[in-house]
Amino acid sequence: MLRTALTAALTAAALLVPVPTAGSAPPAVPAVSAPTVSVPPASVPPDAGAIPRLTDRQGRELTLRGWNVEDKTHRGEAALSAVTERHFRDLRAHGFGFARLLVFWDDLEPEPGRYSTGYLRKIDRVLDCAARYDVRVLIDAHQDVFGPAFGHRGVPVWATRTDGLPFTPHPDDCFAEYFEPAVQRAFTHLYEDADLRRAQAEAWRVLARHVAGHPAVFGYDLINEPMGEPRAGEDLPAAAHRIEREQLTPMYNRLADAVRSADRDAWLFVEPTPVVGEGVPTGLGRVDDPKVVYAPHFYNTAMEAGADYDPGAGWIEAYERAVVEYPRRYGVPVVVGEWGPPDSSLPGMGRFYRDAMASLSRYTSGWAGYVWCYGGGYCAVDGSGAFRPHKELTAEPYAPSVAGTVRSASYDPEAGVYRLVYRAARNGPRVTELSLPPGRWRVTADAVVLRTAPGQAWIVAAPGRDVTVAVRRG
């Protein structure tokens, strides 16, 4: 998680759809004539298809929306104990169907070649909880400041090589620790040393072999926020571009091969360095796999340091311009793996969340906010489970799966109207799923609308038909 500034370094049917209590039986809904519905213009133009959509094995176009789920505190026998069924029950109750689950190599392989079956069982428990609530899980191989050798989590101590270079902790600015010589050299050894390359790939092979086929597993994020070691005379953007091109790209191809030896189906998520947050396009090259997702993080330097959102600074626009280059070049979908400020209570944060949600809807197939926990700071909700200030704006109607080709999709938070336009597939699945936040929502479409579960509605359209769906609050 990027926690500080980089500045120093640079229907024919209509019905009212309430959200009933869990377990209520879905009523049968007769088809009626659909009224005319006034909806806002779509934010995604029909010709924005240069970036592919994420799909499932049936060919449905997917939108993932959810949150990171983590336990960075507990290790060993207590690992993942802070992640409970409540996380997934509450995610689903708020309309989210996606979780990015943090796992740590230091827990998986505490000694070279010794993999913890206990830790794998703990991952199983979390995945089982997610499956009970139909939450798709992205398994994230997480590191913060490389790992425990520097007081954090991630790469085991036994796989950390520093060549005796110095490390000075920065208790109030952990991101500054990435620029310590020992940390930077540790990344270089991870990327370049043959035995560490093999160890990292084998750890992924063991993990993927264990969880492959679990109904909750959607994909694998191969490493969180990778960094590296600048060369003499390089500024940060130049160093990031070289590291991404010469070290991360080969690493991702190695790890993709390792995962594919165990799991042929899941999506592989690849990240650039966090420098992308400064509006710098990535230097990543092609990852030779048919199911790759580009997964940058969406953090603003000033806001990470505690500042309020300044829409006049143009940060969101600069970030968007930088991020779309890679997926357009290589034809891969985008899912933002982390985003959200540490202090959402500042006066401009309502505007930030509205602008951010609109931007993310323009070019991504989804996102995972940071972080679904019960407290302050980055937490999505407080101890009672209520959204922290302005974070309720992340809970919008959306279409998790569309049985066809999305032409446009948008939500107007002021009017409380979501609009989806798609062409129904001529073959394969016919059912499009809508996810609805808590509250009362009226769904109309020039196709059949059904309610089947709390917070959900389904659209059934004739093959090849152009369909317009509107979801209105109240």
Kindly report the three-state secondary structure assignment for every residue of the chain.
CCCCCCCCCCCCEEEEECCCCCCCCCCCCCCCCCCCCCCCCCCCCCCCCCCCCEECCCCCEECEEEEEECCCCCCHHHCCCCCCHHHHHHHHHCCCCEEEEEECHHHHCCECCECCHHHHHHHHHHHHHHHHCCCEEEEEECCCCCCHHHCCCCCCHHHCCCCCCCCCCCCCCHHHHHHCHHHHHHHHHHHHCHHHHHHHHHHHHHHHHHHCCCCCEEEEECCCCCCCCCCCCCCHHHHHHHHHHHHHHHHHHHHHHHHHCCCCCCEEEECCCHHHHHCCCCCCCCCCCCCEEECCEECCHHHHCCCCCCHHHCHHHHHHHHHCHHHHHHCCCECECEECCCCCCCCCHHHHHHHHHHHHHHHCCEEEECCCCECCCCCCECCCCCECCCHHHHCCCEEEEECEEEEEEEEECCCCEEEEEEEECCCCCCEEEEECCCCCEEEEECCEEEEEECCEEEEECCCCCEEEEEEEEC
Residue among 177, 171, 169 at smallest CA distance from 146: 177
Phi and psi, residue 59, nearest 5°: 90, 5
Structure tokens at 210: 């264990």
Contact in structure between 212 and 262 (CB atoms under 8 Å): yes
User: What are the Cα distances from residue 150, in Å, to 74, 167, 168, 410?
Assistant: 17, 8, 9, 44
Residues 6+ apart with CB under 8 A from 164: none
Output the pLDDT for position 25: 33
Strand order, beta sheet including 64-69: 292-294, 267-270, 217-221, 136-141, 98-103, 64-69, 366-369
Phi and psi, residue 330, nearest 5°: -105, 0
CATH fold of 61-395, please? TIM Barrel (3.20.20)
CA–CA separation, 442 vs 14, rounded Å? 7
Q: Is residue 371 reached through a cis peptide bond, with omega within 30 degrees of 0 on the bond before it?
A: yes
Domain 400-473 indexed as CATH 1.10.3470: no
Residues 6+ apart with CB under 8 A from 367: 64, 65, 66, 298, 335, 336, 337, 339, 360
With a cut of 50, which residues of the chain have pLDDT below it? 1-49
Residues 6+ apart with CB under 8 A from 346: 308, 309
pLDDT tens sequence across 16-27: 333 333 333 333
pLDDT tens sequence across 238-255: 999 999 999 999 999 999
pLDDT tens sequence across 335-358: 999 999 999 999 999 999 999 999
Residue among 258, 268, 269 at smallest CA distance from 205: 258
Torsion of CA 366, 272, 224, 247, to 10 degrees: 150
Output the pLDDT for position 451: 87
Output the pLDDT for position 68: 99
- CB neighbour burial string for 261-293, b if at least 16 within 10 angstroms, e if fewer: ebbeebbbbbbbbbbbbbbbbbbbbebebebbb
Contact in structure between 163 and 229 (CB atoms under 8 Å): no
Residue ranges of the domains in the chain?
A: 61-395, 400-473
Contact in structure between 399 and 63 (CB atoms under 8 Å): yes
Residues 6+ apart with CB under 8 A from 432: 60, 399, 401, 402, 403, 404, 420, 422, 424, 458, 459, 460, 461, 467, 469
